[in-house]
């Protein structure tokens, strides 16, 4: 199972976490986020994909950030349309489209996006576009029948390991590509606890 660590902010911490060799590191380019990234990403191993997280941003700004930071992946965390994803899809970059889940979810709404995105990401619906620290009911994913792989997100921490291992044994996890962690491993917004992440990765 691949690992994405999102909401990185501090250079020394980015380099510390990069030593764990996660598959993805996420940088949030949304000004209202407490994890807003407005610095330069330090040089990272090529095995780690840099993910830029955007919320209802415009295409030109996203393209600028892709070029400036040499991003390999764009994560769209707002109400971006399938048409918008199609335009971005022409920029030779992987696209993750996020959908938030609470108690129920209609997976039919994903169909128009499938031709234009590489992955979906399922997060917990909350006050913020992400990083709310709550887990949604993963049983809902039993109803996911699409072939597009997805990231599992939303309040995942060290205390989730047992539930994750149980989930990975179910048919609902068939298309699960990666686990996405953020707020449950923070000392403060944007600053990750390397020791806890090391333990989590060893158990995943």
* Domain that includes residue 15, residue range: 2-203
Mean pLDDT of the region 93-104: 93
Token readout for 68 is 């400036």
For residue 10, what is the domain's CATH number?
3.20.20.70
Lowest mean pLDDT, pick from 37-41, 90-94, 107-111, 133-137: 133-137
Rounded mean pLDDT, 173-198:
96
Token pair in block for residue 159: 């205390």
φ, ψ of residue 72 to 5 degrees: the values are -100, -20
User: Domain count of the chain?
Assistant: 1
Residue 13 CA neighbour count, 13 Å, CB half? 21
- Give the DSSP per-residue string, 112-154: GGTTT-SEEEEEE--SSSS-------GGGGGG---SS-EEE-S
Mean pLDDT across 174-195: 96
Outline where the chain has alpha helix (H).
11-18, 59-69, 82-89, 161-167, 194-203
Is the per-residue pLDDT at 128 higher than 70?
Answer: no
- 78 CB-near residues (< 8 Å, 6+ apart): 54, 55, 56, 57, 129
Q: Quickly state the pLDDT bin for 126 (edges 50, 70, 90).
A: low
Mean pLDDT over 132-137 rounds to 76
pLDDT of residue 129: 53
What span, in angstroms and rounded, lies between the C-alpha atoms of 69 and 8?
A: 14
When the pLDDT of each residue in the chain is averaged and rounded to a whole number, the result is 94
Among residues of the chain, what percentage have pLDDT more than 70? 96
First to last CA, the chain: 7
Decide if pLDDT at 86 tops 70.
yes
**Sequence-distant contacts of 165-174: CB under 8 A, at least 24 apart:** 167/138, 168/1, 170/142, 171/142, 172/138, 172/139, 172/141, 172/142, 172/144, 173/141
What is the average per-residue pLDDT within 107-132?
Answer: 84
Q: Give the model's confidence band at 130: pLDDT under 50 very low, under 70 low, under 90 confident, else very high.
A: very low
* Spatial separation of the C-alpha atoms in residues 59 and 72, rounded to whole Å: 16
- Mean pLDDT over residues 23-51, rounded? 97
Whether the pLDDT of residue 132 is over 80: the answer is no
Residue 90: pLDDT band (50, 70, 90) is confident
Judged by DSSP in three states, 52 sits in strand
Rounded to 5, what percent of the chain is helix, strand, coil? Answer: 30, 25, 45
- How confident is the model over 139-164, as pLDDT tens digits? 999 999 899 999 999 999 999 999 99
């Amino acid at each position: 199972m691949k690992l994405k660590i999102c909401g990185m902010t501090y250079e020394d911490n980015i380099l510390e976490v990069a030593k764990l060799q996660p598959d993805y590191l996420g940088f949030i380019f949304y000004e209202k986020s407490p994890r807003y990234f407005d610095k330069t990403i330090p040089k990272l191993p090529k095995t780690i994909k840099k993910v830029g997280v955007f919320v209802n941003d415009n295409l030109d700004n996203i393209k600028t950030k892709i070029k400036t930071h040499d991003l390999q992946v764009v994560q769209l965390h707002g109400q971006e349309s399938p048409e918008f994803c199609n335009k971005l899809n022409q920029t030779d970059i992987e696209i993750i489209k996020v959908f938030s889940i609470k108690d129920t979810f209609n997976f039919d709404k994903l169909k128009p996006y499938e031709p234009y995105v590489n992955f979906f990401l399922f997060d917990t619906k909350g006050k913020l576009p992400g990083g709310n620290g709550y887990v949604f009911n993963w049983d809902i994913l039993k109803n996911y029948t699409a072939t597009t792989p997805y990231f599992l997100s939303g309040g995942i921490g060290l205390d989730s390991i047992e539930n994750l291992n149980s989930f990975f044994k179910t048919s609902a996890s068939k298309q699960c590509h990666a686990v996405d962690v953020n707020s449950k491993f923070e000392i403060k917004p944007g600053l990750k606890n390397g020791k806890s992440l090391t333990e989590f990765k060893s158990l995943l």
